[in-house]
Amino acid sequence: MREAIKVRMRETGNVVYYEKGDMHPKVGDYVIVEVERGHDYGQVTGGPEMILEADLGKPLKNVIRIATKEDIFRINENKKRIKNASQTCVRKIQERKLDMKLIDAEYSFDRTKLIFYFTSEGRVDFRELVKDLAHIFKVRIEMRQIGVRDEARMLGGFGHCGRPLCCASFLKNFEPVTIRMAKEQNLPLNPSKISGCCGRLMCCLGYEFQNYRKYLKGLPREGDKIKIKEGKGRVISVNALKRKVLVELGEGKQIELDYNK
């Protein structure tokens, strides 16, 4: 077992588990962490929690330190530089007439790398763009094409529930979400009701799906024709959580069956 915390890398990165060691960072704190090529920074989004080593897949990297005043100053300076970097990148994209939309940009903690995130409907040959940007900023340039769900996570916003987007606050990874999840939870199949800001099915459709599958086990489905002691009828409503089924008999007569008994 390892005691780990969740860290969102930089401002737009993925949520990663890190071993916290003897430190006690709080949610919202910035921390300096190990990465493949040196050190970088991130913000604590959750934890601590105990994780089985078998569930990790690869060894946990360490939190080096809770960010100092000097670290915070550098992080804020990096953020200030991003506005100019983004404006320059957008101008160069327009000059080269590239079919891409810049979403965000960020410096690595040590300012040796400048990352630009963009969306595009297809593949983009941005080699000349990278040369332009490297010549201007004198750092290593990295271009990352992202999808609409990543775009929503970076830009943030609020869901139908009125709370900040899950992807922008606590979700570690994007899990597959299907229309079947909405059907089995008896949700309206109206795209505007079950789609998020990104235009894809809401991530939260998967949160209670397994529980609904468990509660639906043994229940007839809506539209099924069943035979009960009062006669033959058609299922017109299913309440999975209460495990109750509403059956319509002839002449508008309705009977509620309780499957908890």
- 133 located within any domain: yes
Within-domain flag for 217 = no
Among the candidates 146, 162, 187, a domain finishes at 146
Q: Print the domain residue range for 116.
A: 73-146
In a domain, residue 173? The reply is: yes
Which portions of the chain are predicted below pLDDT 70?
11-13, 53-57, 261
Q: Which CATH number goes with the domain that contains 113?
A: 3.30.300
Looking at 67, 84, 109, which one is the last position of a domain? 67
Picking from 163, 164, 162, 168, the residue whose alpha carbon sits closest to that of residue 150 is 168
Q: Is the domain of 44 the same as that of 81? A: no
Is the same domain home to 141 and 81?
yes
- Cβ contacts of residue 69 below 8 Å, gap of 6+? none
Among 32, 67, 102, give the residue marking a domain's end.
67
Cβ contact 149:124 at 8 Å: no
Cβ–Cβ under 8 Å, residues 206 and 166: no
Whole-number Å distance between alpha carbons of 261 and 258: 6
Residues 142 and 155 in one domain: no
Contacts of 14 (CB under 8 A, 6+ apart): 8, 172, 173
Structure tokens at 85: 């970097």
Cα four-point dihedral sign 20, 3, 59, 165: negative
48-80 pLDDT per residue, tens: 888 776 666 677 888 999 999 999 999 999 989
197 DSSP assignment: T
126-145: per-residue pLDDT in tens? 999 999 999 999 999 999 99
Q: Is residue 220 part of a domain?
A: no
